[in-house]
Amino acid sequence: MWKTILRRIILMIPQIVILSILVFVLGSLMPGDALTGLIDPTISAEQVEAMREKLGLNKPMPERYVDWVSGAIRGDFGRSWQHRQPVLSIIGQRIWPTLWLSLLTVILTYIIALPLGLLSGRYQNSWLDKGVNLYNFISFSVPSFVLGLLMLWLFGYTLDWFPTRGTVGSSVSPGTLDYVLSRLNHMILPAVTLALISTTGTIQYLRTGVIDAKTQDYVRTARAKGVPESKVYSRHIFRNSVLPIAAFMGYTITGLISGSVITETIFTYQGMGALFVGSISNRDFSVMTALVLLFGIMSLLGTLLSDIIMVFVDPRIRIN
């Protein structure tokens, strides 16, 4: 097992190199550069050119790429002109709100999806199954920004149950229980929005797995031995049907981290998604390229995490 994991990690190295090249080249083709926004409009063109020469922005693209990668390996992605801070420091501040939001979203996703998928597969073609399929169709069809705006209007502005912007209340002190509860309260609406959209694939995978498992020989054998129907589903059918879901858990987690851009923007939730949108609109080259590279690496790590999870939940893979 460990040899397989090590082999996968080694294979990720050329993928990350190719990803970094694409990120840097595409970022370089955008208007502006790492100096954009830092230039005082009152200084002369000669001074601007001297600053570009000092920062190495006039070098050929291959040399600039080597400088950028060597800095990234050291943890130096440059400086954000918009926030006037090192890029790594900004990402360090924003990554934790996104990680907590993604964790809460995953929990809510499985709380909703697992019982619906199991019941839908167990009572195939019933009214319950049709209702779950209708929910799946709606959640798949409705864009995240539409659902987010509906959640804001209903639970934020109309019912006034949850806050409508930010990540924490301005009047609470860090390190207190009120601070934690305020954080959680600000996460609920965006987490529910992401969870309702994320349940579609999980429900469908589990429903299909349950329908397929019901026809297997081991299920017929268990019923012939007189095993109660509830235990047939909990011990035999559900265990085998959940394998595809476990395989995609890594993709789900990393997909939420990198895919929460629209939702965080709608709720003005100060995470990595909102930071990414702001870096594009303000042409903050250093932040944008660092985030794209980070999102790409997270996707690769999600693939690795899914493979590791499958090894632990399926003994057949472990033996192979």
Domains and CATH numbers, the chain: 31-76 (no CATH), 90-313 (1.10.3720.10)
Looking at every residue in the chain, the average pLDDT score rounds to 77
Quote the pLDDT of residue 58. Answer: 64
What is the mean pLDDT of the segment spanning 88-115? 86
State pLDDT tens for residues 128-137. 888 988 988 8
pLDDT band at 250 (very low <50, low <70, confident <90, very high): low
DSSP assignment string, 35-64: TTTTS-TTS-HHHHHHHHHHHTTTS-HHHH
User: Would you say residue 37 has pLDDT above 60?
Assistant: no
Distance of alpha carbon 95 from alpha carbon 63, whole angstroms: 30
Contact of 179 with 173, CB cutoff 8 Å: yes
Quote the pLDDT of residue 264. Answer: 81
161-165, long-range: CB within 8 Å, 24+ apart, which pairs?
162/186, 162/188, 162/189, 163/189, 164/189, 164/267, 165/267, 165/268
Q: At what angle do helices 285-313 and 87-122 cross, to 10 degrees?
A: 40
φ, ψ for residue 254, nearest 5 deg: -70, -30
DSSP assignment string, 83-125: TTEEHHHHHHHHHHHHHHHHHHHHHHHHHHHHHHHHHHHHTTT
Quote the pLDDT of residue 176. Answer: 77
Would you give the distance in Å from CA 93 to the centre of its chain?
17
Distance of alpha carbon 154 from alpha carbon 247, whole angstroms: 35
- If one counts every other C-beta atom within 10 angstroms of the C-beta of residue 173, the result is 7
Q: Which position has the higher pLDDT, 50 or 164?
A: 164
Quote the pLDDT of residue 302. Answer: 76
Q: At what angle do helices 249-259 and 285-313 cross, to 10 degrees?
A: 160
Say which range, 12-21, 43-52, 142-151, 221-230, has the weakest mean pLDDT: 43-52
Distance of alpha carbon 229 from alpha carbon 117, whole angstroms: 17
Rounded to two decimals, the pTM is 0.76
Element counts in the chain: helices (H) and strands (E): 16, 2
User: Would you say residue 14 has pLDDT above 80?
Assistant: yes
270-277, long-range: CB within 8 Å, 24+ apart, which pairs?
270/94, 270/97, 270/166, 270/167, 271/94, 271/95, 271/97, 271/98, 271/101, 271/167, 272/91, 272/94, 272/95, 272/98, 273/98, 274/94, 275/90, 275/91, 275/94
What is the mean pLDDT of the segment spanning 119-146? 84
Say which range, 52-56, 124-128, 153-157, has the weakest mean pLDDT: 52-56
Q: At what angle do helices 87-122 and 272-281 cross, to 10 degrees?
A: 120
Distance of alpha carbon 260 from alpha carbon 101, whole angstroms: 9
Quote the pLDDT of residue 319. Answer: 44
Quote the pLDDT of residue 314. Answer: 62
Q: What percent of the chain has pLDDT over 70?
A: 82
Distance of alpha carbon 114 from alpha carbon 237, whole angstroms: 13
How buried is residue 116: exposed, middle or buried, by Cβ count under 10 Å (0-12/13-18/19+)? buried
Radius of gyration of the chain from its Cα atoms, rounded to whole angstroms: 24
